Amino acid sequence: MPAIFQVLELAMATSNVKLLGRNGCPFVNRAQMALNLKSIDHEFIEEDPFTKSELLLKANPIGKKVPVLFHAETPISESLLIVQYIDEAWPNGLSILPSDPYERATTRFWAAYVDEKWFPLTAEYRKAQGEEAKAAVRDKVIEGTLLLEEAFIKCSKGKSFFGGDRIGYLDIVLGSLLGWLKVEEILTSTKIFDETKVPKLVAWTKRFCADKAVKDFIPESEKLVEGFKKFEMLKAASNSN
């Protein structure tokens, strides 16, 4: 296909792309990172964190949460699925997921581990009551972080990112959480990524946050802390009414 027709085809494919989300949400940031890596122009629609819009309820009636990607008016929900969809719907350019089936499956396994098991532990640690309970959760967080260090070593194969020479699927999944992980560190006065325990991961975080393709979608931790405290106050006030 002549280059001019490829350009026109891509322009038509990206002319009707919208992302429903909320600033500061790490799961929304994943979709933004993936769209930027693929150079896909899109419209961002801001969702009120306290009032679920009719658009959201119609597009994602089961989960009722952001992000929601609209491609040609068709909604796709859940951040992990959205990133995979973006990679498959726009095959031109850089690939986000590995092409090798085993590496692809391994990447998805660790992404699920991060979302379903490891990251929730950081919030659980903040909410734990009493030193004994906190210590038990802290041990689980440390254990999980060590597993992620091993996963990085295996997936990266000595290169800069989980995806090898460039940012890939697992980089996006874990990297999108870095701002909020810093918030948890600030709120609990605890180091999650300790250079003495996970030096490879610490070095990776610096490379990831400096990469021009994603750095604009990593919120400043100080602003997140301020927003988190304000949100908790408003939620408490709402629950008391």
Q: Give the span between the Cα atoms of 21 and 210, in whole angstroms.
A: 24
Number of Cβ within a 10 Å radius of residue 78? 18
What is the arrangement of strands in the sheet containing 17-21, beginning at the earlier edge strand? 43-46, 17-21, 68-71, 74-77
For 40, other C-beta atoms within 10 Å of its C-beta total 18
Residue 82, both tokens:
């959205």
Pair 122, 147 in one domain: yes
Instruction: Answer whether residue 234 is part of any domain.
Output: no
Distance CA 77, CA 16 (A): 17
- Kindly state whether residues 124 and 64 are assigned to the same domain: no
Which one has a higher pLDDT value, 195 or 9?
A: 195
Tell me, letter by letter, the H, E, C secondary structure of the chain. Answer: CCHHHHHHHHHHHHCCEEEEECCCCHHHHHHHHHHHHCCCCCEEEECCCCCCCHHHHHHCCCCCCCCEEEECCEEEECHHHHHHHHHHHCCCCCCCCCCCHHHHHHHHHHHHHHHHHHHHHHHHHHHCCCHHHHHHHHHHHHHHHHHHHHHHHHHHCCCCECCECCCCHHHHHHHCCHHHHHHHHHHHCCCCCCCCCCHHHHHHHHHHHHCCCCHHHCCCHHHHHHHHHHHHHHHHHHHHC
In this structure, the answer to whether residues 116 and 180 fall within a common structural domain is yes
18 and 128, same structural domain? no
Supply the pLDDT for residue 7.
38
Nearest CA among 197, 177, 202 for reference residue 115: 177
In tens, the pLDDT along 133-181 reads 999 999 999 999 999 999 999 999 999 999 999 999 999 999 999 999 9
Structure token digits, residue 3: 């280059």
Whether 106 and 214 share a structural domain: yes
Residues of the domain holding 218? 101-224
Residues 176 and 80 placed together within one structural domain of the fold? no
CATH number at residue 65: 3.40.30.10
Domain count, the chain: 2
Same domain, 123 and 194: yes
Give the percent of the chain with pLDDT over 70: 90
Q: Which pair of structure tokens corresponds to residue 211?
A: 């990469």
| CATH number for the domain harbouring residue 195 | 1.20.1050.10
* More confident position, 7 or 220: 220
> Could you tell me if residue 95 is inside a domain?
no
Would you say residue 233 lies in a domain?
A: no
In a domain, 237, yes or no: no
Do residues 82 and 115 share a domain?
no
More confident residue, 100 or 221: 100
pLDDT of 202 > 80? The answer is yes
Domain-terminating residue out of 67, 89, 111: 89
Residue 230 lies in a domain: no
Express each pLDDT in 46-60 by its tens digit.
999 889 999 999 999
- Interatomic CA distance for residues 173 and 44, integer angstroms: 20
Question: Which tens digit of pLDDT belongs to each residue from 89-136?
Answer: 999 888 999 999 999 999 999 999 999 999 999 999 999 999 999 999
